[in-house]
Amino acid sequence: MTWGRQRYSHPLIIIVTDMPDHHSLDIKRVAILFAGGPAPAANAVISTAAFSFLEEGSQVFGIKHGYSRLAEYTAAGPLQEGTDYIRFTHDNLAQARCSRGIMIGTARTNPGKYVSAPEHLKDPELVAPLRRVYEGLCSLEVDALISIGGDDTLKTANKLKMFQDNLPADARRFPVVHLPKTIDNDYSGIDFTFGFFTAVETLAEEIRNLNYDAAASRAYFLCEAMGRSAGWLAYGAAIAGEASMVLSVEDVQGALAEKEIVNAETGESRKVMALDRVVDRMVDMMLAREREGREYGTIVIAEGMAEYLPAKYLEGVNRDDHGHINISTINLCALMSGLIADRYTERTGKIRKVNGLQLGYESRCAPPHAYDVMLGSQLGVGAYRALVEEKLNGVMVSVEGQFNLRYVPFEQLVDPETLVTKVRFIETDSDFHRLARFLETCIDD
């Protein structure tokens, strides 16, 4: 008879008892992979997932630098321990939960970039990168894959599962479980993602510092925060940092939006912001603060607003493997700060310095806050529970309430026809959105 840990329904408590361990551990080898941008508490997720399996006697492999090596598996030869993957041990997991960075590295390689519809999974050429990933993992004889990453990594996890679903009946298969990661917090299926609150506090501290700098020189700072698809990070940092105003992609509506433009070649429509009115709204805020005797302030915008610029500002801008425009080449804060300063002078006849500043990278590997460590740890343990206790495949681990685990099927998160995930925007009628409006400088519309 073997003795083990009896896991009760409460997700935060593991009680050691004299009860026999009834788990039939089908997973002898498990791979953990992290992809996309870094996030605070990444190592809490990785280490707790690895620890959970090590405690049950499994071998745990940490795939290094995302899918970059797996996507080249056949051509580049067999995977090399130390270079392409590591074996987790209790020693290399010691004190890892609160450490910074990503202990197995990351990359943005997208092996599913050629698969944009279910029928593409039957095309050998289009699925070739996915097949190499599958074969590379099979070479390690893994019985499961734990994927950690953003919505693009979720799409890849779903495609890898679907790829296996299309294999011959006698082919090797392994379940895929995904853990949601993004400091942008724009994930469907979970309320808050690990690293979000650490990133918010890191950016908020910078904004608080800039407030003092702005007051000293009677100037403004325009801070461009990360957040390609939604404004959670910009709004959180603005609220916690006491910014004068915050705007994000969710605010490009009503008076701040032009009519959607339809691409004649593709038929796709694109929302475009009314740039002049957005700039005027910011200048209105500056003038309102001056009437209150405050000739300084900070404005926070989300980088994703660059996607809504008029077409002339996007000419020649390239896209990455995931189809996103290269926002860094636009330098939105520099563009907007210049327009605001010029418009302020035009309307007042005075000069007011407006400094553009990009924020974000410094927050991605900041020391993780306790909340993010707890959330990340629960997600890591959730991967173990999904695979071993629940015997699940093709689910994303989520947390709600008192860190209660739930498992969301990929089918609920990914469009079955386009294989694209759904962005979770800030609801403009929500109390969170209203909180930012309530706290910022009042403007008479």
Task: Average the pLDDT over 174-193 and give the result.
Answer: 95
- CATH 3.40.50.450 segments of the chain: 3-193+368-412
Both structure tokens of 44: 């809490």
Cβ neighbours for 166, distance < 8 A, ≥ 6 positions apart = 121, 122
Phi, psi of 371 (to 5 degrees): -60, -45
Q: Which tens digit of pLDDT belongs to each residue from 366-393?
A: 999 999 999 999 999 999 999 999 999 9
Does residue 436 contact residue 244 with C-beta atoms inside 8 Å? no
CATH number among 3.50.30.10, 3.30.450.40, 3.40.50.450, 3.20.20.140, domain 3-193+368-412: 3.40.50.450
Rg of the chain, C-alpha, whole Å: 24
Mean pLDDT of 164-177: 94
Q: Which candidate, 36, 179, 41, places its Cα nearest to that of 100? A: 41
d(CA 142, CA 205): 43
State the pLDDT confidence band at 266, using cuts at 50, 70 and 90: low
Task: Determine contact, residues 384/216, Cβ cutoff 8 Å.
Answer: no
Average pLDDT on 209-230 reads: 94
- The C-alpha atoms of residue 359 and residue 221 are separated, in whole angstroms, by 11
Using 50, 70 and 90 to split pLDDT, how confident is the model at 261? low
Burial 361-380 (b: 16+ CB within 10 A, else e): eebbbbebbeebbbbbbbbb
How far apart are the C-alpha atoms of 291 and 265, rounded to whole Å? 49
Q: Which residue has the tokens 């092996």?
A: 111
Tokens of 421: 């995930």
Q: How far apart are the C-alpha atoms of 318 and 327, rounded to whole Å?
A: 9
Q: Is the predicted pLDDT of residue 8 greater than 90, yes or no? A: no
> How far is residue 425's CA from residue 427's CA, in Å, rounded to a whole number?
6
* Interval 275-288: pLDDT, tens: 999 999 999 999 99
Q: How far apart are CA 282 and CA 272, in angstroms?
A: 18
Give the whole-angstrom CA distance, residue 200 versus residue 235: 9
φ, ψ dihedrals at 346, nearest 5°: -60, -40
**Separation between Cα atoms, residue 75 and residue 261, nearest integer Å:** 44
d(CA 63, CA 66): 7
**Cα–Cα distance between 394 and 396 in angstroms, integer?**
7
Least confident of 16-20, 67-71, 81-85, 252-256: 16-20
Strand ranges inside 35-150, DSSP E: 59-63, 85-87, 144-149
Q: For the chain, where do the domains classified as CATH 3.40.50.460 start and end?
A: 199-365+426-439
**Topology at the third CATH level for domain 199-365+426-439:** Rossmann fold (3.40.50)
Residue 420: is its pLDDT beyond 80? yes
Asked if pLDDT for residue 4 goes beyond 60, the answer is: no
The three-point CA angle 244-247-253 to 5° equals: 140
How far apart CA 147 and CA 136 sit, in angstroms, is 15
SS3 110: coil
Cα–Cα distance for residue pair 103/294, rounded to 1 Å:
46
Per DSSP (E only), the strands in 240-291 are 245-247, 261-262, 269-270
SS (H, E, C) 358-421: ECCHHHCCCCCCHHHHHHHHHHHHHHHHHHHHCCCCCEEEEEECCCEEEEEEHHHCECCCCCCE
What are the strands, taking DSSP E only, across 64-170? 85-87, 144-149
- How are the residues of the chain apportioned to helix, strand and coil, as percentages rounded to the nearest 5? 40, 20, 40
Identify the pLDDT of residue 445: 57
pLDDT of residue 317: 76
Render pLDDT for 50-107 as a digit per residue (tens, 0 to 9).
Answer: 999 999 999 999 999 999 999 999 877 899 999 999 999 999 999 999 999 999 999 9
* C-alpha dihedral (119, 154, 386, 120), degrees to nearest 10: 10
pLDDT of 264 above 70: no
The gap from C-alpha 347 to its chain's centroid, in whole angstroms, comes to: 40
Give CA–CA dist 235/435, Å, rounded.
9
